[in-house]
Structure formats: structure tokens, C-alpha cells
């Protein structure tokens, strides 16, 4: 019979053989080899790039675009963002995406 252990998040410790020990996370979830592998893959994927998460695909770095706009355009975008409870960057991205989709040739 496998030993039962609850693991708390913290510094990395010794390796655990999940075939010999039953490991439970703090929320009571049983940690399997497959779940540990999926978790480590997510962590390694996220650790590859610093900064904000990709808006397209976690394996692809999202290109950055800096634009200058007149004060009234910025104010309008900020007003929309505040009314929708969203970030200015998200509203600006949506506006550019809509424009590109509408006027792409």
C-alpha cells in the first residue's frame, strides 16, 4: 500500500515517486503522474517568456505594438474601458482587430 502525504506549495523538495506514494494537494486533489506532468509542462511553458500572457497562443510570443493617438481618442478608449470594466490595452486591441478585419484587403 502506498504512503499517503499532503503536499503544501512552497520550495521544491526531494523528488516523489507517485507510483509509491499517494500525494494529495492542499485542496484534497490526488496528484497523479499525468497531472504532475501536465502541471510541469504548463509551468515550463509560462516560464519561457516574461511579461503578460500571450493573447494568441501560449507557445507563441505576441508581438508588441506601440502607437501614438490624439488625446481625444485616448480619452474615448479609456471611457469605453472604464464603462466595460476592462483594461485600456484590451479595448485598444479589440478596436484594432475590428478595424483590420473590416478593412483588410
Give residue limits of the domains in the chain.
3-47, 71-103
Q: Rounded to two decimals, what is the model's pTM?
A: 0.49
Beta bridge partners of 60: 57
Lookup result for grid cell 470594466: 85
Q: How far apart are CA 103 and CA 2, in angstroms?
A: 62
Specify whether the CB–CB gap between 25 and 41 falls below 8 A: no
Span 46-78, pLDDT tens digits: 666 666 667 777 667 788 899 999 999 999 999
Q: Which residues contact 2 (CB under 8 A, 6 or more apart)?
A: 19, 20, 21, 22
Span 29-47, pLDDT tens digits: 888 888 888 888 877 776 6
Amino acid at each position: 500500500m502506498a504512503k499517503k502525504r499532503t503536499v503544501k506549495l512552497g520550495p521544491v523538495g526531494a523528488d516523489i515517486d507517485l507510483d509509491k506514494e499517494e500525494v494529495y494537494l492542499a485542496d484534497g486533489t490526488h496528484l497523479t503522474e499525468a497531472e504532475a506532468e501536465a502541471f510541469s509542462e504548463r509551468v515550463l511553458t509560462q516560464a519561457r517568456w516574461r511579461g503578460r500572457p500571450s493573447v494568441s497562443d501560449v507557445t507563441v510570443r505576441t508581438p508588441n505594438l506601440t502607437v501614438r493617438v490624439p488625446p481625444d481618442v485616448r480619452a474615448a478608449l479609456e471611457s469605453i474601458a472604464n464603462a466595460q470594466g476592462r483594461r485600456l490595452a484590451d479595448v485598444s486591441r479589440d478596436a484594432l482587430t475590428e478595424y483590420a478585419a473590416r478593412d483588410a484587403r
